[in-house]
Amino acid sequence: MKNPKQNFFLTKNNQKIHYKFINKKSPITIIFLHGLMSDIKSKKAKHLQKFSNKNKINLLLFEYSGHGRSSGKFIDFSIKNWIEDSKAIIEKLTMNKKIIFIGSSMGAWIGIQLIKYFNKKIKGFIGIAAAPDFTEELMWNKFNAVQKQRIMKNKIYKLKSGYNNFYPITKKFIFDGKKLLVLNKKIKCKFPIELLHGINDNSVPWNYSVLLSKVLISKNIKLNIIKDGDHSLSRASDLNKIDLAIKNIL
């Protein structure tokens, strides 16, 4: 398989966003929104490239500011910036195409925020281990007084992750998240939705997808709880389920 051309998109804030666009000249573009401190070298991203080539459907992959090969330091950004990055590059590259959002973990939260901008263009939405509002529910509300005080003093709190590294948590990261919560309101969706979540997810409890299924109001919404699935959902059996979700929408 030929590697798609790698490019950089310049935002209005002069951030260089690394992206790959597979153009099959189809009327639909799949847009993959990766998770926190991830990139487009993941198993899911590589699998979607194979799916795009096999099924002759457009695919847009990109990395938010401070992620992967995009410019900037992670600690200088928040979900607010990553939503802006996503909105700008999608507007530029998809034009009149219909789009299918595939959001992994934090990417699902970003995708939900993008619904208000692209509602009429969206053909479907797939959430993989969706993590809406995680900065509030899974971080801030669980931090103790010492951890919160460190963040409030504009110091970086290093939160251990499940991937043998840590997330550098800043005040901007937490407080921008507070302004963009989505689990506190209903969102009307005129397109099918598929949510996949593993019971063995140690990063984002599977009930987050249950909560999300009650927030996203659609006539066609499916919730697939995977018995032995973890947070990444990158095994062959998981990737097959993602394929099926895309085909259900198509």
Structural domains of the chain, ranges and CATH numbers in brackets: 6-249 (3.40.50.1820)
pLDDT score recorded for residue 113: 97
pLDDT computed for residue 4 by the predictor: 54
CB 58 within 8 A of CB 21: yes
Query: What pLDDT shows up at residue 72?
Result: 95
Which among 119, 128, 235 is positioned nearest to 188, based on CA atoms? Answer: 119
Rounded mean pLDDT for each run of 10 residues along the chain, 250 residues in total:
69 92 94 96 96 96 96 96 97 90 98 95 97 96 97 95 83 98 94 97 95 96 96 96 96
- The torsion angles phi and psi of 70, rounded to 5 degrees, stand at -75, 160
| Per-residue pLDDT at 247 | 96
Within its chain, how far is the Cα of 175 from the centroid? 19
Look at residue 151 in the predicted model and tell me its pLDDT. Answer: 97
Confidence at residue 1, expressed as pLDDT on a 0 to 100 scale: 43
CB 101 within 8 A of CB 110: no
Residue-level pLDDT at 95 = 81
Strand partners, 32: 61, 102
Q: Tell how strand 193-198 and strand 122-128 pair up.
A: parallel
pTM beyond 0.85, yes or no: yes
